[in-house]
Amino acid sequence: MNSTMRDRLIAAAKNAAGNAYAPYSKYRVGAAVLAENGEIYSGCNVENSSYGLTICAERVALFGARCAGATKWIALAIYAPQPPVPLPCGACRQVMAEGGNAPLVIVVGHDDTIREFAFKEILPHSFDMTM
Ligand code: THU
């Protein structure tokens, strides 16, 4: 991925964070997936009065990509405009385990610190029935 695309992906994650619905935790998150087809799909966290129904930004973005017909993704940027940095939860990591092509996870903090991880680094030995 070139630096222009990386900047676009981070900008899309930041933009999506503006649509987060997080009245309970007050923790807003945006995510953006770069698919193999070159398109970017974004998502934000959406909370609910029935707390357990909340869905993270990462899964909204990944499911949106799939629903739009993008079958493979190569990078996912996550941004939170407030601390702490949005390291993805275990459920999202398990969802990321499918549909990726040697994917990269880019985590951007409120202070614009950027950390990058190969997906395998953050979820080694994942459960995957597609293999
Ligand atoms: N959340 C995300 O959307 N992504 C993360 O990486 C961490 C947590 C959301 C879920 C919930 O709406 C709020 O942040 C607090 O956990």
Dihedral angle of Cα 63, 47, 113, 110, to the nearest 10 degrees = 150
Classify each residue of 112-130 as buried b or exposed e, where b means 16 or more C-beta atoms within 10 Å of its C-beta.
eeeeeeebeebbeeeeeee
User: Is 58 tagged catalytic?
Assistant: yes
Residue 94 CB–ligand 1 contact under 6 Å: no
Q: Is residue 32 part of a domain?
A: yes
Q: Is residue 130 part of a domain?
A: no
Q: Is residue 21 part of a domain?
A: yes
- DSSP conformation letters of 88-112: PPHHHHHHHTSSEEEEEEEEE-TT-
Q: Is residue 101 part of a domain?
A: yes
Using the mean position of ligand 1's atoms as its centre, give its distance from the Cα of residue 51 in Å. Answer: 12
Total tally of structural domains belonging to the chain? 1
Give the position, in ligand 1's atom list, of the atom nearest the Cα of 57: 3
Active-site residue, from 36, 39, 47, 58: 58
Q: Is residue 112 part of a domain?
A: yes
Q: Is residue 131 part of a domain?
A: no
Using the mean position of ligand 1's atoms as its centre, give its distance from the Cα of residue 27 in Å. Answer: 7
Confidence of residue 86 (pLDDT cuts 50, 70, 90): very high
Instruction: Read off the pLDDT of residues 41-60 as tens digits, 9 standing for 90 and up.
Output: 999 999 999 999 999 999 99
Give yes or no for a contact between 7 and 20, defined as CB atoms under 8 angstroms apart.
no
pLDDT at residue 131 greater than cutoff 90 = no
Query: For 2-15, what is the mean pLDDT?
Result: 97
Q: Is residue 129 part of a domain?
A: no
Using the mean position of ligand 1's atoms as its centre, give its distance from the Cα of residue 76 in Å. Answer: 15
Q: Is residue 93 part of a domain?
A: yes
Give the position, in ligand 1's atom list, of the atom nearest the Cα of 54: 12
**Residue ranges making up the domain that contains 32:** 3-122
State pTM to two decimals.
0.97
For the chain, percent helix, then strand, then coil, each to nearest 5?
A: 30, 25, 45
CATH number at residue 43: 3.40.140.10
